[in-house]
Structure 1
Amino acid sequence: MAREQFNDLLWFLAVAEERSFTRAAARLGISQSTLSHTIKRLETRMGVLLLNRTTRNVAPTEAGERLHASLSPRIAEIESEMAAIMSYRDRPAGRVRITLSDHALRTIVWPKLREVLSGYPEIRVEFSVDSAFRNIVDSGFDAGIRLGESVEHDMIAVRIGPDWRLVAVASPAYLAARGTPLHPKDLTTHTCINIRQIAAGGLYAWEFEKGDEVLRVRVEGQLTFNGSYEMIDAAMRGYGIAYVPEDIVAAQVASGALVVVLDNWSQPFAGYFIYYPSRRQNLPAFRVIVDALRHRG
C-alpha cells in the first residue's frame, strides 16, 4: 500500500471518530477542504460510500463502520508499538490524548500537569473537553478522566483527586424573593438552572442523600447549560438555584455572593480517576502523566 493511501485511511479514522470534518481537520492539523477531498478520493478508490454527510452531522455508513472496526485496533496496536520503541530514547516522548470534563481539567489535571510538563518538552498532550462517557479506545484516546462511579470496568483506574460533592446554591436576592428550600422536593416549586448530560441526552436529575433517604429530583428553569462554570454566574445574577461542584463555588459562598441550601442533603462521592487500557501503562510518556496526576492525599 502506498504511503498516501495509508494516510487516507488514518484521516478517515479521524472523521469517523470525531463525527465531524471540522473537528477531524483541527485534530489532524489540515484544512477541512483537503480532508474532504481526501475522503472522497478514498471512497472513489474503494467504490463504496464510507460516510453519510448532512449539514449537521457526519456518520459512518455500514461499510464505514466495518472499515473503522477493522482499522481502529490495528492502528492502535501500531501506535502502541511505536510508543514502546520510543521508550529506548533517553527522555520520554510522544503524544497522549485525554478526554475529560472542564471541571476535571481546571481543578485537578491542569494544576498538576502545568509544572511537570515544562520538564518534558517532547511529550505532547491533547486535552479534549467533553462530558460524554466515551469509549476511549474506539474514539482514539489514550485515557479518560471521570468520576470513580463512571469508570469503565475493563480499564485500569488510578485515583487523581479527593472525594467531592455537589451543592445547591442561590443568590441572597433570589432566596429573599422566593424563599429557601428546606427539602429537595421543594426544588420542584423553584426556578433552577439545569445542566444537560451529553452522554444520556437528557437533563441531569439532581441527586440528594440523607440517612437512608436517596432522592433524584427533576428541576425546571429558564436556563440549561452543559458546563458548571456558566451556572455559577447565572446563579449569582439571580436566575435561580444551581447544583455545582462545591470546590469551584467556594469563593462565591465565602464572599456571600451565593448561599448554600440543602447542605445536609449533599453527600460526598468518589472523586476523579484516570482510566486507560493496560497496553498504555508501561509507556514512558504515559507514565509521566499518570504519576504526576496520582492522588497522594
Structure 2
Amino acid sequence: MRREELVDLNAFMTVAEEQSFTRAAAKLGTSQSTLSHTIRRLETRLNVRLLTRTTRRVSPTEAGERLLTALVPALDMISSEIASLSELSEKPSGTVRITTSEHAANTLLWPALSKLLPKYPDLHVELAVDSSLTDIVAERFDAGVRLEETIARDMIAVPIGPPLRMAVVGAPSYFERHPVPRKPQDLSHHTCINLRLPTSGGVYAWELEKGKRALRVRVDGQLTFNNVPMIRQAALGGFGLACIMEDQSAPYLADGRLVRVLEDWCPPFPGYHLYYPSRRQSSAAFRLVVEALRYRG
C-alpha cells in the first residue's frame, strides 16, 4: 500500500469517528478543505461513497461501515506495534489512556501515578474521569477502571484496590427525629437520599446482604443526586439517610458527624479492577502502569 493511501484511510477513519469534518481537521492538524479533498480522492479511487454529509453531522454509509470494520482493528494493530517499539528504549515512553470513575481516580490511580510518573519523564497518562460505562474499544482507550461486577467477561481484569463496603449513614440530628433502623425493611419509614446512576439513568437500589440473604431496597426521600459528595453533604445536614462507600464516610464517622446503621447488612465486595481487551498487545509503558496499579493485598 502506498503512503498516500494510508494517509487517506486514516483521514476517513478520523472523520467517521469524530462525525465532523471540523473536529477531524483539528485533530489531524489540517484544513477542512484539504480534508474534504482527501475524502473525495479516496471515494473516487474506490468508486464508492463512504460518508453521508448533513448540516448537523457526518456518518458512514453502508460501504463506509464495512471499511471501518476492517480498518479500525488493522490500524489499532499498527499503533500497538509502534508503541511496543518503546521496549527497545531504556525508558518506557508513550501515552496510556484510561477511563475511570472519580472515586477510583482519587483513591487509587492518582496516589499510584503520582509516585510513578516522576521516575519516567517520557511516560504520559491521560485519565478520563467518567462514571458511565465507556466502551474502551470504541473510544480507543487503553484500559478502563470499574468494579469487577460491571466488567465484560472477555476482558482481562487486574485488581487495583482492596475489597469495598457500603455504609448506611445519617447525621445525629436526623436520629434525634427518627428511630434507628434495625433491618432493611425499616428503611421504608425513613427519609433517604437517592443516587441517580449515570450509566442507566435509573435510581440506585440499595444493595444489602446478610448471610445468604441479598436485598435490593428501593428507598424514598426529597433528594436525588448524581454526585456522591452532594449526597454526603445532604446526609451531614440531616436531610436523610445515605448509602455511600465506607471510605467516603469514614472521617465523618470517626468525628461523630455521621452515625452508621445496618452495618451487619453491608458485607465487603470485590473492589476496583483495571480492565483491557484480551487481544491487546501491550506496550512497555502500558505494562509499567498496570504493575504500578496492581493490588497486592
| 2:85 match | 85
- Alignment correspondent of 1:175: 175
The alignment's TM-score, normalised by the length of structure 2, stands at 0.83
Is 1:43–1:50's contact at 8 Å kept on the other side of the alignment?
A: no
Structure 1 unpaired stretches of 5+: none
Does the 8 A contact of 1:11 with 1:39 survive in 2?
A: no
Partner of 1:180, secondary structure, is coil
* Percentage of identical aligned residues: 43
CA distance in 1, matches of 2:37, 2:223: 44
- Give the partner amino acid of 2:11: D
Contact 1:102/1:227, CA 8 A, preserved across alignment: no
Question: 1:145 — aligned with what?
Answer: 145
CA distance in 2, matches of 1:39, 1:172: 63
The reply to whether residue 114 of structure 1 matches residue 107 of structure 2 is no
Query: For the Cα contact (< 8 Å) 1:281–1:287, is it kept in 2?
Result: no
Q: Give the 3 Å change call, closer, same or farther, for CA 9–219 of structure 1 in structure 2.
A: farther
Query: 1:93, CA displacement in angstroms?
Result: 0.6
Conservation of the 8 A alpha-carbon contact between 2:193 and 2:220? yes
TM-score by length of 1: 0.83
Distance in 1 of aligned mates of 2:84 and 2:200: 36
Paired residues of 1:72 and 1:138 also in contact (CA < 8 A) = no
SS at match of 1:203: coil
Which residue does 1:236 correspond to in 2? 236
- Structure exhibiting the larger radius of gyration computed from Cα positions: 2
1:131–1:199 contact (8 Å) kept in structure 2: yes
Query: Cα deviations across residues 125-159 of structure 1 (Å, max 9, x unaligned)?
Result: 11111222223112211111111222221122211
**Residues 60 and 244 of structure 1: CA distance in aligned 2, closer, same or farther (over 3 Å):** farther
- Counterpart contact for 2:168–2:262, Cα < 8 Å: yes
Determine if contact 2:11/2:39 at 8 Å carries over to the other structure: no
* Alignment length (residue pairs): 286
Contact 1:11–1:35 (8 Å) recurs in 2:
no
Provide the residue aligned with 1:291 in structure 2: 291
CA distance in 2, matches of 1:191, 1:12: 50
Please give the residue correspondences for 1:1-297 in structure 2 after superposition, counting only pairs within 5 Å: 1=4, 5-6=8-9, 8-12=11-15, 14-15=17-18, 30=26, 49-50=51-52, 60=59, 63=62, 66=66, 68-280=68-280, 282-297=282-297
CA distance in 2, matches of 1:36, 1:176: 65
Give SS of 2:112's match: helix
Structure 1 position 87, deviation (Å): 2.0
Contact 1:168 1:241 in 2 (8 A): yes
Question: After TM superposition, which residue ranges in structure 1, 4 or more long, deviate above 3 angstroms?
Answer: 1-11, 28-31, 34-54, 58-71, 278-282
Q: Separation in 1 of the partners of 2:186 and 2:277?
A: 44
* Paired residue secondary structure (1:286): helix
In the TM superposition, what whole-angstrom CA distance separates every residue of 1:4-50 from its partner, at most 9, and x where no partner exists? 6455335335426xxxx7xx96xx9958xx99888877777755655
Aligned CA distance change for structure 1 residues 43 and 283 (closer, same or farther; 3 Å): closer
Gap runs ≥5 in structure 2: 44-48
Name the amino acid aligned to 1:269: F
Please give the secondary structure, in 1, of the residue aligned with 2:176: helix
